[in-house]
Chains A and B, each alone.
Chain A
Amino acid sequence: MQLNYDYIVVGSGATGAIAAHSLVEEGVIVALLDVGVEDETYKQIIPSKDFISIRKEESDQHRYFLGKNYEGIPWESTKVGSQLTPPRNFLTQLTDKLISFESDSFKPMESMAKGGLGGGWGLGCYVFSNPELQAIGLHEAEMKKAYEAVASHIGVSGTRDDGAPYCLGDLQNIMPVSDLEQNLSGVYSSYNNQKKSLNKKGVFLGRSALALLTEDKDTRSAVQYKDMDFWSDKDQSAYRSWMTIEQLDKKTNFVYHKNCLVLKFREHENGIDVIVKRTDTNEEQIFSCKKLILSPGVLGTARIVIRSFEYKKEQLPVICNPYCYIPCIQWRMLGKEIEQKKTSLGQLVLYLDENKNNYDVGMAALFSYRSLLLFKLIKETPLNFSDARIIMQYLQSSFTIAGIHHPEKGSDTKFIRMKKDAGAYTGDVLTGQYILSDQEISTNSLREKKIKSALRTLGCQPLKTVHTPHGGSIHYAGTLPFNDRGDEYTIYPNGKLAGTKNVFVADGSGFNYLPAKGLTFTLMANAYNVAKNVLKND
């Protein structure tokens, strides 16, 4: 059976959801094709209580904290995504089977879930500066409008402090900032006491802008500080892309097709055929449309485009932010009890902007540690579990974790390559290589040193630096770089895929540069613009 639509969007992640929403709002008929894995196990059994109440009262908490098959008790796992809690494990379900990726030096995380990787988003919203947008290849004025539109749809909370130029920019549509937890309050006041000397070194610290509601919005509630952010979306205060999909599902001009893994497209005179492999029956199905918007994530788009262009080019560039995290001891918090009502989201961000031009800025998001449970920290100590338990219980309130992202550009040693493999579900496998140059390694290492020095000044003593494998930042871009010449395997600035008439790309495939700041908000704003351009192109 062949199904015909005016517009087809591929993928339900952060970009697909926004692109589909923008089109549906304009009244056109839209179909969204998605594999759409959902959490069938945990959603119903997690009570709507705060973390402490659950810990003290719920006798079957092990079912969701440790997982049905105890998959939440990690042992020797180095796979990117193994840090996900059991209720978030569905985000990476089926990826190994359906879209395998092979590489020794690049370990990306992909998702087949309804709502995509957005289901595990840390909620940080960053309006990129003009130099950053120019380096990416995006139009500043158009992006400014798009940021406002997306903020109005998802709900963004924040405040105008020293971090505002790096996250809020000129954004007007913001809710009041969330209540700052005790662990990070000390760091914030320490910064405010020493900011003159820190600013001289290019160090700025501020409250994060988060896609977290602090006021009720439609059917979603304001944050209730239950500290269950890594386990459940019960009150829907944190924005997740599936919420947009469920909202769209109620509209008559939107159709959601589940179990659809898009393999490729074929453009012809009357429109576009989209060839899908159904994941429930393993049979091929063809959908037809006038315009196609690809947004299954950068690697997913690369697979579809390489197949659609008959493997003419098998290797594409890729960019991914290098990432590491630094557990620190914050002395002033030693021996204190952590408050019951809080959030575990990164509420503070430290920026290292030595040139003070809001470009090539290093970024460290600061978190406290509680709701991911103590046993995972105990395992990291070189002590026996019994003694380590006592020591870590004492230290627990004083842990502050800094997650550092570095800005990143492409190079010849960073690429993905598709190879045919008859045994694979799709008949091919994506492979890749990601190697930093000595110069890049030394620049990043110097940046980490400076951030560690700033953390010490703020009363946080770094314990060690843990570098995750490349891919661990879960920010990917640059496979089909923006250019306006129409070269093969590139995207025009309006989002149109070069070499096609009506195929658009709404994810980060075109981005020529990745700032260290979180990418998701800008990806959504770009998807909004691409959807508008698709309509303009009619």
Chain B
Amino acid sequence: MHPRLMEKNNNHIFEAEQIGLYLLSGSIQETEKKIYADAMQKLNISFSEYEQLLWNKMLKNKWNMACIDAALAVQEPSNPVRRKLFTMLAILEASPNYTSYFLSRKFSIFYLFKIGIIGFRAILRALVGIFIVNTIKRKCN
């Protein structure tokens, strides 16, 4: 493999690890990382300067990723940085290793409380994320 391609591929593998950590709160397997790298090669998602800054920030840790994603879900749902997350989400769903995260199962009535808490957490994440996104936007302007 050409050194530039190798570097790009390594970047994609690193991205896959970070996104997996954010989406499923755990490290994901090599198979899914490779599929993600292949998808990135084929989809060729490009970023503007602003989007690149957002993406760099998101890759620092899963909390940044969650907050920025939450803010963009409200403000810019079609932002290309979300497309990377969405692609990984689809790859994880179409893998036999992660079916328990996606297929329906029986939940107890008390699970509704958890759903409520997660909804509340999503709102908090969006509020923090809006602050981060606006700061990055100002930097770009």
A182→B64 CA distance, assembly (Å) = 41
Known A-B contacts A52-B103, A335-B111, A389-B89; the reply to A384 vs B94 at CB < 8 A is: no
Contacts of A59 in B (CB 8 A): 31, 95-96
Identify the closest chain A residue to B123 (Cβ): A383
A76→B31 CA distance, assembly (Å) = 27
- Closest Cβ of chain A to B39, distance in Å, is 5
Q: Mark A56-79, 1 if CB is under 8 A from B, else 0.
A: 111101100110011011011000
Among B5-13, B49-57, B113-121, B131-139, the stretch that binds chain A is B113-121
Interface contact A62-B23, CB-CB below 8 Å = no
Identify the closest chain B residue to A374 (Cβ): B102
Interface contact B111-A394, CB-CB below 8 Å = yes
- Closest Cβ of chain A to B109, distance in Å, is 7
Interface residues of B in 90-117 (CB under 8 A from A): 90-91, 93-96, 99, 101-109, 111-112, 114-115
Contact of B122 among A61, A75, A388 (CB under 8 A): A388
Contact of B115 among A56, A336, A390 (CB under 8 A): A390
Contacts of B111 in A (CB 8 A): 335, 394
- Number of B interface residues in the complex (CB < 8 A): 49
Identify the closest chain A residue to B71 (Cβ): A384
**Residue with the greatest number of chain B CB neighbours at <10 A, chosen from A55, A386, A390, A394:** A386
Interface contact B74-A382, CB-CB below 8 Å = yes
Interface contact B96-A394, CB-CB below 8 Å = no
- Number of A interface residues in the complex (CB < 8 A): 42
A262→B128 CA distance, assembly (Å) = 60
Known A-B contacts A383-B70, A391-B118; the reply to A70 vs B94 at CB < 8 A is: no
Contact of B90 among A52, A55, A73 (CB under 8 A): A73
A30→B70 CA distance, assembly (Å) = 60
Interface residues of A in 361-390 (CB under 8 A from B): 370, 373-375, 378-379, 381-390
Contacts of A73 in B (CB 8 A): 39, 86-87, 90
**Residue with the greatest number of chain A CB neighbours at <10 A, chosen from B31, B73, B106:** B73
* Total CB contacts across the A-B interface at under 8 A: 128
Interface contact A70-B42, CB-CB below 8 Å = yes
A375→B108 CA distance, assembly (Å) = 23
Interface contact B66-A384, CB-CB below 8 Å = yes
Known A-B contacts A61-B96, A384-B73, A384-B126; the reply to A69 vs B42 at CB < 8 A is: yes
Identify the closest chain B residue to A76 (Cβ): B78
Q: Mark A27-68, 1 if CB is under 8 A from B, else 0.
A: 000000000000000000000000010011111011001100
Interface contact A375-B86, CB-CB below 8 Å = yes
- Closest Cβ of chain A to B53, distance in Å, is 19
Q: Mark A308-331, 1 if CB is under 8 A from B, else 0.
A: 000000000000000000000000
Known A-B contacts A335-B111, A393-B104, A396-B104; the reply to A386 vs B93 at CB < 8 A is: no
Contacts of A370 in B (CB 8 A): 104
Known A-B contacts A335-B107, A383-B70; the reply to A66 vs B91 at CB < 8 A is: yes
A338→B114 CA distance, assembly (Å) = 21
Contacts of A394 in B (CB 8 A): 107, 111, 115
A384→B129 CA distance, assembly (Å) = 10
A55→B23 CA distance, assembly (Å) = 19
- Closest Cβ of chain B to A464, distance in Å, is 15
Contacts of A382 in B (CB 8 A): 73-74, 77
Interface contact B86-A338, CB-CB below 8 Å = no
Contacts of A142 in B (CB 8 A): none
> Which B residues are within 8 Å of any A CB, using their own CB?
22-23, 25, 31, 35, 39, 42-43, 66-67, 69-70, 73-74, 77-78, 82-83, 85-87, 89-91, 93-96, 99, 101-109, 111-112, 114-115, 118-119, 121-122, 125-126, 129
A–B Cβ pairs within 8 angstroms, 30 of them: A55-B103, A66-B91, A66-B94, A70-B39, A70-B42, A73-B39, A73-B90, A75-B78, A335-B108, A335-B111, A335-B112, A336-B104, A336-B106, A338-B104, A373-B93, A373-B94, A374-B93, A375-B90, A378-B89, A383-B126, A385-B23, A385-B85, A386-B23, A386-B69, A387-B70, A388-B73, A389-B23, A393-B104, A394-B111, A397-B104
